Chains A and B, each alone.
Chain A
Amino acid sequence: MKLSRTSFALMATLLAGTALPTSANATVTVLGWPGGSEETALRATVETYNTQASDADKVELLFFNREGFYDKLQADMAAGSSAFDVNLVATYSLGRYAPYMEPIDLGADAAKVFGESVLKTMQFDGKQYGVPTDLSLHFMYYRKDLIDALIRDDAARKTYGEIAQKYLGKPLQPKDPDSWTWDDWGATALYFTKRVNPDSPVRYGTVLQMKNLLFNMMVFQSLPRSYGGDWMDKDGNVTVDSDAYRTGLELYKKLYDAGSSPKDSLSYEYAETNAAFASGQAATALQWNAAAADLTSTEKSPAVAEVTGIIAPPAGPDGRADHIHGLGLGLNKNAKNKEGAVKFLKWLATEDAALLYARSGGSPALSPDVVGKVAKERPDLVKLGEFASKYGYVMTGATSASALPVYELQAKEFTGYWSGQQSLEDALAHTKAGMQDLLKK
Chain B
Amino acid sequence: MALVTRAEGRKYLTPLVGFLLLFLGFPAIVNLIYSVSTVTFETLRSPVLSGFGNYVAVLNDREFWSSAWFSLRFGILTASAECLIGLFLAIFLAPLLSKRPVLMAPLMLPLMVAPAMVGLMYRLVLHEFAGPVPYYLFEWFGDSPAFLDIDNAFRTLVVVETLQWTPFAFLLFYMAYSAIPLDVREASSLDGASPFEIVRWIDLPLMKPTLVIAFFIRFIDGFRVFDNVYALTGSGAGGSTTSLSIYIYQAFFKEGAIGKAVAASVVLFLASFIVLHGLNRLAGRRKL
Residues of A within 8 A of B (CB): 67-68, 71-72, 74-75, 78-79, 99, 210-213, 262-264, 266-267, 272, 275-276, 278-279, 281, 404-405, 408, 412-413, 415-422
Contact = CB atoms under 8 A, between A and B. Distances in A.
Nearest to B238: A416
28 contacts: A67-B234, A71-B253, A71-B254, A72-B253, A75-B253, A78-B41, A99-B42, A212-B234, A212-B236, A212-B237, A212-B238, A212-B239, A262-B146, A264-B127, A264-B148, A264-B149, A267-B153, A275-B129, A276-B128, A278-B129, A404-B254, A408-B254, A415-B237, A416-B239, A418-B237, A419-B149, A419-B150, A421-B150
A266 B237 contact: yes
Contacts of B235: 212, 412
A263 B153 CA distance: 12
B240 interface: yes
Interface of B: 41-42, 44, 123, 126-130, 144-150, 153, 230-240, 249-250, 253-256
A210 B235 CA distance: 13
Specify the main secondary structure of chain B where it touches its partner: loop
For the complex of A and B, list the 4 residue pairs with the smallest distance between their C-beta atoms, beginning with the closest: A416-B238, A263-B146, A71-B253, A419-B237
Nearest to A96: B41
B253 A68 contact: yes
A95 to B, nearest CB: 12
Nearest to B41: A78
Nearest to B256: A405
Nearest to A79: B44
A415 B253 contact: no
A279 B129 contact: yes
Contacts of A412: 235, 238-239
Given A74-B253, A272-B127, 12 more contacts: A67-B231, A68-B249, A71-B254, A72-B253, A212-B234, A264-B148, A267-B232, A276-B128, A405-B254, A419-B240, A421-B238, A421-B240
B146 A415 contact: no
Contacts of B230: 67
B148 A266 contact: yes
Given A68-B253, A71-B253, A75-B253, A281 B129 contact: yes
B44 A416 contact: no
A300 to B, nearest CB: 13
Contacts of B129: 262, 275-276, 278-279, 281
A272 B254 CA distance: 23
Contacts of B237: 210-212, 266, 415-416, 418-419, 421
A281 B254 CA distance: 35
Nearest to A203: B128
A422 B237 CA distance: 11
A103 B261 CA distance: 33
A313 to B, nearest CB: 23
A267 B148 contact: yes
Given A74-B253, A211-B234, A263 B150 contact: no
A404 B238 CA distance: 17
A419 B148 contact: no
Contacts of A267: 123, 148-149, 153, 232-234
Nearest to B134: A264
A71 to B, nearest CB: 3
A264 B233 CA distance: 10
A75 B144 CA distance: 41
Nearest to B119: A67
A263 B146 CA distance: 5
Contacts of B254: 71, 404-405, 408
Contacts of B145: 263
A75 B148 contact: no
B192 to A, nearest CB: 55
Contacts of A212: 234-239
Contacts of B238: 212, 412-413, 415-417, 419, 421-422
B253 A262 contact: no
Nearest to A418: B237
A74 B148 CA distance: 30
A264 B240 contact: no
Contacts of A405: 254-256
A364 to B, nearest CB: 29
A211 to B, nearest CB: 6
A266 B149 contact: yes
Contacts of A68: 249, 253
A212 B255 CA distance: 15
Nearest to B43: A78
B33 to A, nearest CB: 17
A334 to B, nearest CB: 15
Contacts of B150: 266, 419-421
Contacts of A418: 237
Given A272-B127, A416-B238, A421-B240, A74 B41 contact: yes
B228 to A, nearest CB: 12
Nearest to A280: B129
B136 to A, nearest CB: 15
B256 to A, nearest CB: 7
Contacts of B41: 74-75, 78
Contact of B128 (A262, A278, A417): A262
A79 B41 CA distance: 8
Given A412-B235, A416-B237, A419-B150, A263 B128 contact: yes
Contacts of A263: 128, 144-146, 149
A294 to B, nearest CB: 13
B255 A275 contact: no
A72 B252 CA distance: 11
Nearest to B250: A408
A415 B240 CA distance: 10
Contacts of A420: 150
A418 B238 CA distance: 9
A279 B129 CA distance: 6
Contacts of B127: 264, 272, 275
